[in-house]
Amino acid sequence: MKFILKIFLMGISSYLLPFYFPWWSIALGAGLVSLIIRGRNFNSFNAGFIAGGLVWFYLSFTIDNSTNSLLSEKIALLMNLTESIWLIYASTLIGALVTGFGALTGGLMGSIISPKKMSRNEYVS
Amino acid sequence: MKFIGFFLSFFITASLIILLNVPIDNIPPIGKFLSPHQGFWQNSEKEAIDLAPSIDLMALKDEVTIQFDELLIPHIKAKNNEDLYVAQGYVTAYHRLWQMDFYARVVMGRLSEVVGIKALNYDRLQRRLGLKDMTLKLHNLLMNDPYYGPLISAYTNGVNAYIASLSPSDYPIEFKLLNYKPEKWTTVKTCMSYALLASTLSRSEADIEHTNFRKMFGEELFNVLFPEPDGKFSPVIPGDTPFDFEPLTRPQKPESFELPNSVNETISKQNPLNGSNNFAVDGTKSKSGHAILANEPDLELTAPSIWYASHLTSPDINVMGVTVPGTPVILIGFNDSISWGVTNSPRDQVDWFSVTFKDASRKEYLYNNQWFKTEKILEKIVIKEAENFIDTIIRVHHGPIVYDRNFLSNHAKVNLAMRWIAHDESTTFKAIFHFNKANNYEEFVTGLSFFSGPPQNILYSDVQGNIALNLPGKFPVKWPGQGKFILDGSDPDSEWKDYIPFEHRLERYNHPQGFLSSANQFPVDRATYPYYVYSHRFEHYRNRRVNDRLMTMQNIKPEDLMDLQNDNFNYIASEILPYLLSQLDTLSLNEDQNKFFDELQNWDYFNHPNLKAPTHFELWSDILWETLWDEFDTMSFAVNKPDIYTTSQLIISDSLAGFSDRLSTPEKETTTDLINYAFNTAVDSLNQWIAKKDNDHSWNKFKGTEVNHLISSFTSFNKKNIRIGGNHNIVNAASKHHGPSWRMVVEMDKEGINAYGVYPGSQTGNPGNPMYGHMIIPWAEGKYYNLKFGQNKLLAEDILYEVQLTPKK
């Protein structure tokens, strides 16, 4: 459940923050979430990876779909890609990696700030 | 352990972000660029217009309505003129902000700032030419004028209001690809298009090339290969036009000056394919009894298009047409009483003066047997990802020294100062503003009196049925030949003294033949006009075709003038091809050569897109021209080859002297040998082309007309292989990269004007907009759109989108 909650919160932060802050604020949001909601580091990374990837996939896919790939085809050609779908994959991967590593860093930071809690959590889980 | 883990993870995250947030070479920051929130995805537009229906603008005094028609042309209704230009600035920026920024950088010599070191020489040239100084001078003049200053400010405020409304995710795609931000627009930038157009249109000269040639081969041969037209054949101003005034006296020609050294390389010149046609018929020629005017400027075909169309209305203005993005008012268009169109008038507006410095410090120069102080200007050019470059430019009273030890000077042997009329204070903006508001010829002429250049054949027509052609502008009174060659900068007698008075300009108001036209040809019969007129290059074909057609056409409808604009008749071929074919040794032709020959033999000289004969002719004549003038390729100094017209005349009259010899062979070829050789080579080269392209060689495919983005590496924003006929020197002047950049036909009906127009592009400059480039195909097919004005005024059902601008409290 905590894992799902994390994905959900990281998803919301990845969706909302870049409207107001630089694109990489997705890492900060995810880091904050995994700092507050503690868990295993591997899980933090996975939650961020999935959340960030999903949000960036969803957004780029819907834009691409609703505009019939009009611009993405042109950009793909500029980048020597054969199809615009690769741009969606690339966006997804970037969103996933940056959010994932942000989440991981947040989690690890948490374990430094309150190591005890961390060990109990590990034990419980 | 935990610390190591944290720092490692932090380091990876930070590195990842940094790596994805910095540009690498020409690749934009990939994370930022691919971000769905802020990257290129945000430039994908579902709807043609995404403006809010109601916008508050601080800059406004009153409410303004903008209605976009189906071509995305804004119809702006304002309650005062300042608000009108605020809205024009706002809406132009909405569609073309990046292009405006780009043009401003071109004029100010600031491209290197955003594209890097590859633009350095370009920026240096722009600054050496003084485009920035010209713009500042114009700005100073307009901003100190109580009437025009506020209008320039209003337009600027409109652009800035749009820029202020943008968040980084809204920046046009080019900003994202080149990774820079739109900077604040300024009143100086609003004045930029004068320098931009002057540099595109009035900088044509060949003084240095001519000087080199004369030095090498003498004046006699020069006059054979580079003759001056006498203006007898289809000049701009009909031959029967009287000039009954007492002309100013011509200056005395001083002793001939010979530059001791030659120049190896010259600055990049305006493209010779920039040209235009305009023609108007009066009520006696037209079916409806109204005057009809047609105009099309033939320029480089670019995306975004050089033109932006709009319809401006205020209590005292109702004008529609096109302008250069970044420039208020309408440059080519019509109002409810008059219409006007322009073609470039080739006139020698640039002379080069050789300057002698006292010593290497270049602090003093020789003039009238005395030493005078020079002025030193340091131009700082900021370069992306490289150190700033400082260019030292020396100015003398003639103008800036463009060729000097730092720039194309042949090892510091020459110093050439540029005297260019466009450097003088210009009032052309006032002229254009008067055209926008003129109700009749008298008011139009008042506007003309302010027109200082670049020289244009300005065609006029009105709802009273009058037509007129004028060549206003600033022209020095020259002795015959003055400025054809480099002049002595120390000699006061070599300089320009008087200027042709406005009343002595070339003008024709109505004509019994019922039409007037211009197509960059020689302007006037030399025998009738008392002033010396010169340029190194004139059109000789389009003008004759247009006049031939108009002479025979009767009961003309707007559609007939559209057909004439799209006319594909190849006048060059009609003159020279019969002669070329007659010189061929047809008995010895092989099968391929026979097919090639037959196609040409049965051709009616029309460069229609689907025909193969135009391809044959183009190949043959190009190869002939190249091999004929191969002598010129061996010269180490800058020199021009004779133009197509002179070449054709020399070939037909078989007076090529020794030039028909091919240098690469031991034999002495005759002209006939050369024609046969070029023919065989053309057939071979066609076969190679077919094998390589795996395509049929229909004219449109061989020519491959294309509209390219201003940044040439953005190849997928281009439109290639457009199916269109025509060529250079043909009325439908669509060559590979140049062509009709705005076709306009206006019928001057008293009851309401009927106007038609099209251009190869779209109002929107965004490649992610569904309407990007939507007019290119119709343009190529010769179609026109009804412009929503006069009788076809914008009705409720034609409005695609409406925006209400309200003053912000």
Q: Give me the number of domains chain A comprises.
A: 1
- From A61's Cα to the closest Cα of chain B, the distance in A is 9
For residue A23, which residues of chain B lie inside 8 Å, CB to CB? 21, 31-32, 35, 37-39
pLDDT of residue B15: 94
User: By CA distance, what is B169's nearest residue in A?
Assistant: A19
pLDDT of residue B256: 83
Q: A82 CB near a chain B CB, below 8 Å?
A: no
pLDDT of residue B24: 84
Question: In Å, how far from its chain's centre is CA B227?
Answer: 25
- From A5's Cα to the closest Cα of chain B, the distance in A is 22
For residue B770, which residues of chain A lie inside 8 Å, CB to CB? 67, 70
pLDDT of residue B275: 82
Torsions phi, psi for B311 (to 5 deg): -120, 115
- From A118's Cα to the closest Cα of chain B, the distance in A is 11
CA-based nearest residue to B418, from B355, B477, B367: B355
- List residues bridging with B68 in a β-sheet: B74, B801
Q: A30 CB near a chain B CB, below 8 Å?
A: no
CA-based nearest residue to B122, from B130, B135, B111, B136: B111
For residue B6, which residues of chain A lie inside 8 Å, CB to CB? 105, 108-109, 111-112
Instruction: Tell me if B41 and A72 make a contact (CB, 8 A cut-off).
Output: yes
Position B631: which residue type?
E
For residue A72, which residues of chain B lie inside 8 Å, CB to CB? 40-41, 44
Residue A116 corresponds to which tokens in the numbers above?
A: 């005890």
For residue A98, which residues of chain B lie inside 8 Å, CB to CB? 13, 16-17, 20, 31
Q: A5 CB near a chain B CB, below 8 Å?
A: no
Residues B723-755 pLDDT 10s: 999 999 999 999 999 999 999 999 999 999 999
Query: By the 8 A CB rule, do B646 and B226 touch?
Result: yes
Query: By the 8 A CB rule, do A121 and A37 touch?
Result: no
Instruction: Tell me if A115 and B37 make a contact (CB, 8 A cut-off).
Output: no
At A115, the pLDDT band (50, 70, 90 cuts) reads: low
User: By CA distance, what is A19's nearest residue in B?
Assistant: B37
Position B523: which residue type?
P
For residue A27, which residues of chain B lie inside 8 Å, CB to CB? 13, 17
- List residues bridging with B517 in a β-sheet: B279
Long-range contacts, A1-8 (Cβ 8 Å, 24+): A2/A37, A2/A39, A3/A39, A3/A43, A3/A46, A3/A47, A5/A37, A6/A33, A6/A34, A6/A37, A6/A39, A6/A43, A6/A44, A6/A47, A6/A51, A6/A103, A7/A47, A7/A50, A7/A51, A7/A54, A8/A51
The dihedral built from the CA positions of residue A15, A16, A17 and A21, taken in this order, carries a sign that is positive
What is the model's pTM?
0.95
Residues B297-335 pLDDT 10s: 999 999 999 999 999 999 999 999 999 999 999 999 999
Instruction: Tell me if B3 and A60 make a contact (CB, 8 A cut-off).
Output: no
Identify from B9, B11, B715 which residue to disrupt to test chain A contact, counting A C-beta atoms within 10 A and taking the largest count: B9
Which among B37, B46, B716 has CB closest to A19?
Answer: B37
Query: By the 8 A CB rule, do B619 and B686 touch?
Result: yes
Distance CA B137, CA B188 (A): 9
For residue B12, which residues of chain A lie inside 8 Å, CB to CB? 101
Provide the residue ranges of all domains of chain B, joining segments of one domain with +: 571-605+612-697
What count of other Cβ atoms lies within 10 Å of the Cβ of residue B253? Answer: 13
Kindly provide the ipTM of the predicted complex, given to two decimals.
Answer: 0.93
- From A19's Cα to the closest Cα of chain B, the distance in A is 6
Task: Give the residue, B627 or A121, on which the prediction is more confident.
Answer: B627
**Is residue A25 pLDDT above 90, yes or no?**
yes
Residue A6 corresponds to which tokens in the numbers above?
A: 């994390």
Residue B266 corresponds to which tokens in the numbers above?
A: 């010259």
Instruction: Tell me if B9 and A73 make a contact (CB, 8 A cut-off).
Output: no
Question: In Å, how far from its chain's centre is CA B567?
Answer: 21
Q: Which residues of chain B approach chain A closer than 8 Å at the C-beta?
A: 2-3, 5-6, 9-10, 12-13, 16-17, 20-21, 27, 30-32, 34-46, 173, 177, 714-717, 767-770, 772
- From B696's Cα to the closest Cα of chain A, the distance in A is 26
pLDDT of residue B593: 96
**Is residue A117 pLDDT above 90, yes or no?**
no
Query: By the 8 A CB rule, do B356 and B415 touch?
Result: yes
DSSP calls for B148-210: HHHHHHHHHHHHHHHHHT--GGGS-HHHHHHT--PPPP-HHHHTTHHHHHHHHHS----HHHH
User: By CA distance, what is A119's nearest residue in B?
Assistant: B2
For residue A95, which residues of chain B lie inside 8 Å, CB to CB? 35-36
Mean pLDDT value across chain A: 90
Which among B9, B31, B40 has CB closest to A71?
Answer: B40
Instruction: Tell me if A101 and B43 make a contact (CB, 8 A cut-off).
Output: no
Query: By the 8 A CB rule, do B756 and B785 touch?
Result: yes
- From A4's Cα to the closest Cα of chain B, the distance in A is 23
- List residues bridging with B342 in a β-sheet: B458
pLDDT of residue A123: 42
Which among B45, B177, B716 has CB closest to A67?
Answer: B45
CA-based nearest residue to B177, from A70, A86, A78: A78
Length of chain B: 809
Which among B13, B39, B44 has CB closest to A101?
Answer: B13
Task: Give the residue, B650 or A111, on which the prediction is more confident.
Answer: B650
Q: Which domain holds residue A70?
A: 2-124
Query: By the 8 A CB rule, do B374 and B231 touch?
Result: no
DSSP letter, residue B40: G
Which among B6, B32, B44 has CB closest to A112?
Answer: B6
Give Cα separations from B209 to B65, B225, B395, B642, B753 (angstroms): 54, 13, 23, 11, 48
Position B573: which residue type?
A
For residue B29, which residues of chain A lie inside 8 Å, CB to CB? none
What is the mean pLDDT, run by run of 10 residues, along chain B of 809 residues? 87 94 88 96 96 95 97 98 98 98 97 95 96 96 96 98 96 97 97 94 93 92 94 94 94 88 87 88 97 96 97 97 96 97 95 95 96 96 95 96 90 91 95 97 98 96 97 96 94 95 97 97 96 95 98 98 98 97 94 96 97 97 94 90 94 84 84 95 96 90 96 95 96 96 97 97 98 98 97 94 94
Distance CA A55, CA A100 (A): 12
Distance CA B160, CA B170 (A): 14
For residue B45, which residues of chain A lie inside 8 Å, CB to CB? 67, 70-71
- From A1's Cα to the closest Cα of chain B, the distance in A is 25
